[in-house]
Amino acid sequence: MSLPASPPSDSAGHEAARLAFGDLCQRAARHALHIDGRWVTGRSDRPITTRNPATGEALVTLGAASQADIDDAVRAARRALTEGPWSRMPAAERAACLHRLADLLEAHRDELALIECLDGGNPMRSLRGFDVPHAVATTRDHAGWAGKLSGEVPLAPLAGAGFAYTMREPVGVVAAITPWNAALLMAVRKLTSALAAGCTCVLKPAELAPLSTLRLVELCEQAGLPPGVVNLVPGHGDEAGRALSHHPDVNLVTFTGSTRVGREILAASGASNLKRMVLELGGKSPVVVLRDADLERAATAVVQEIAFKSGQYCAAGTRLIVEQAVYDDFNALLLQQLKALRVGDGLREDVDLGPLISQPQRERVHGYVAQGIAAGAELLLDGRDAPGPGYFFRPTLFGRARGDMAIVRDEIFGPVLSAMPVAGDDIVQAAAALANDSSYGLAAKVWSRDLARVHRLVRQLQAGSVIVNGGGGEGPLPTGGYKQSGFGRETGHEGMLAFTELKTVRIGY
Ligand code: NAP
Ligand code: MG
């Protein structure tokens, strides 16, 4: 991925965003839940303290949602769906609400970037250049779908009188459970597609970075969304998240997070009301680099992607499968660029890599590097020496990695790359076999200028998205995974259809 240069913020705008952040923390400390149009305090006996990962300092402690709060939120969402103005509102008005929300997100872009930077650790530069503009664009795109989700009228039956058609209806009450790594963007993707389809929503942000979702819900209020249409229940996964996924009156859970929790949510659906689900889970995406590739561009893309969110990015290409003939050259290019990356507090404009989200995450990444060394991989760049007190980790590169090593099999969620040479008479088949040797199938990247090889690889790779030579095109396309990276798609036409039920109607005359 390549980040467009972010427009520098003027210092007055930055100061205003800082003041706004202080106010947001004060409001969150008082009442962080939004249920049926009212701000209330969570009733869990375990409050949540969210921290700034760049310093470790506590930002705010907020009351978390309890089972009773979840029941209230789902009840409010159901009432807003069946009784409230939302379900009767013309689609054009729903779209207008979403466009107003997009305008507000855009108007508050500095503030939203700062919230995400302080609460989630991402560099301001990448938040301004990627997350916030994508949140705005996604909201506008979804607004455009309101009223455009239609059924079909098949050819008239040849025999018998009558008529038949299919129609689409909102799936109902949607619970959106989101991760911390791109908290705002994930919440926006789920919320705005559910709303465009005519659903109502209960949002459960991750406890490690809930503040941008809180601000999002305030902006929803300002955009004129009626009470009960958007409810917010920050809380613990094993309390609020579990209550939502087991709830008998939730029609669909849209979840982005780990494969482990995805399994739990799937089981909860089976144990409760067979609620529908969209599961966007983990990944361990391969990057196939063939000898005819533009190596410089490929190396730059790999480095940018691992810098983006310090590797805490589900589709990051971390398994590098490099044709033997260019393996050493490619590693040399990578090393040169990785060493030049600047690690530090994402508030600074010159920082490429922010901190990891938490101390346990930092320890986890340390553990994987130790495992890689013990398993015999070649440590070409060791990033373990980053100083604290923030949860920093420098870029790390392993060479001569093998498919049976934990560093290659597991999603590390840190800035750790593993390179593997590949050779063979049929290089496409050899590379695809290595790339597909994974329980995940979220994304795969290909670098080659040989069209025939590219097309063969695209066909053979088991991944929900295949990105060739850095990718092209524009606009939100469906994203999602093969294998244990989940099922269902988000954004694009398929992503919208996920929030609908299909009804078949046969009318006899
Ligand atoms: P996570 O631990 O699975 O948590 C995700 C969300 O689920 C959080 O809100 C969490 O709550 C909640 N949760 C935890 N246990 C739950 C339970 N038993 N029932 C219901 N909800 C529960 O994931 P994460 O560490 O936040 O995020 C990292 C993961 O997200 C990675 O695996 C990454 O690949 C994946 N991800 C995937 C995509 C994609 O598009 N495929 C995009 C981004 C991230 P608390 O954290 O508040 O306890
Ligand atoms: Mg935080």
How far is ligand 1, taken at its centre, from the CA of residue 263, in Å? 11
Q: Which atom of ligand 1 is nearest to the CA of 210?
A: 47
| Ligand with smallest separation from the Cα of 361 | 1
The CB of 46 under 6 Å from ligand 1? The reply is no
Tokens of 368: 């994987």
Task: List the residue whose alpha carbon is closest to atom 30 of ligand 1.
Answer: 257
Per-residue pLDDT 10s for the chain (509 aa) are 544 444 445 677 778 888 999 999 999 999 999 999 999 999 999 999 999 999 999 999 999 999 999 999 999 999 999 998 898 899 999 999 999 999 999 999 999 999 999 999 999 999 999 999 999 999 999 999 999 999 998 876 556 678 889 999 999 999 999 999 999 999 999 999 999 999 999 999 999 999 999 999 999 999 999 999 999 999 999 999 999 999 999 999 999 999 999 999 999 999 999 999 999 999 999 999 999 999 999 999 999 999 999 999 999 999 999 999 999 999 999 999 999 999 999 999 999 999 999 999 999 999 999 999 999 999 999 999 998 899 999 999 999 999 999 999 999 999 999 999 999 999 999 999 999 999 999 999 999 999 999 999 999 999 999 999 999 887 789 999 999 999 999 999 999 999 999 999 998 88
360-367 own/partner pairs: CB under 8 Å, 24+ apart: 361/312, 361/391, 361/413, 361/414, 362/391, 362/392, 362/393, 362/414, 364/412, 364/413, 364/414, 365/393, 365/412, 365/413, 365/414, 365/415, 365/416, 366/393
* Residues 176 and 204 sit within 8 Å (Cβ to Cβ): yes
The CB of 204 under 6 Å from ligand 1? The reply is yes
The CB of 130 under 6 Å from ligand 1? The reply is no
How far is ligand 1, taken at its centre, from the CA of residue 202, in Å? 16
Question: How far is the C-alpha of 93 from the C-alpha of 96, rounded, in Å?
Answer: 5
Active centre residues (catalytic) = 280, 314
Tokens of 32: 């962080």
pTM of the model: 0.96
The CB of 207 under 6 Å from ligand 1? The reply is yes
The CB of 445 under 6 Å from ligand 1? The reply is no
Residues bordering ligand 2, an ion, CB closer than 5 Å:
50-51, 119, 209
The CB of 237 under 6 Å from ligand 1? The reply is yes
**What single DSSP character describes residue 127?**
I
Burial of 389 (0-12, 13-18, 19+ CB in 10 A): exposed
Task: List the residue whose alpha carbon is closest to atom 20 of ligand 1.
Answer: 241
Q: What is the pLDDT of residue 156?
A: 65
Question: How far is the C-alpha of 104 from the C-alpha of 97, rounded, in Å?
Answer: 11
How far is ligand 1, taken at its centre, from the CA of residue 241, in Å? 10
Q: What is the pLDDT of residue 154?
A: 80
Q: Between the CA of residue 214 and those of 32, 119, 217, 367, what are the distances in Å? A: 7, 12, 5, 33
The CB of 239 under 6 Å from ligand 1? The reply is no
Tokens of 181: 């790594």
Place of tokens 């990444």: 365
How far is ligand 1, taken at its centre, from the CA of residue 467, in Å? 24
Pick left, alpha or beta for residue 352 (phi over 0 → left; psi -120 to 50 → alpha; otherwise beta).
Answer: alpha
Element (H, E) at 200: strand 200-204
Task: List the residue whose alpha carbon is closest to atom 32 of ligand 1.
Answer: 258
| Ligand with smallest separation from the Cα of 119 | 2
402-407 own/partner pairs: CB under 8 Å, 24+ apart: 402/375, 402/377, 403/434, 403/437, 405/371, 405/372, 405/375, 405/377, 406/368, 406/371, 406/372, 406/375, 407/368, 407/369, 407/371, 407/372, 407/375, 407/377
Q: What is the pLDDT of residue 476?
A: 86
How far is ligand 1, taken at its centre, from the CA of residue 39, in Å? 25
Q: What is the pLDDT of residue 158?
A: 58
Question: How far is the C-alpha of 410 from the C-alpha of 173, rounded, in Å?
Answer: 34
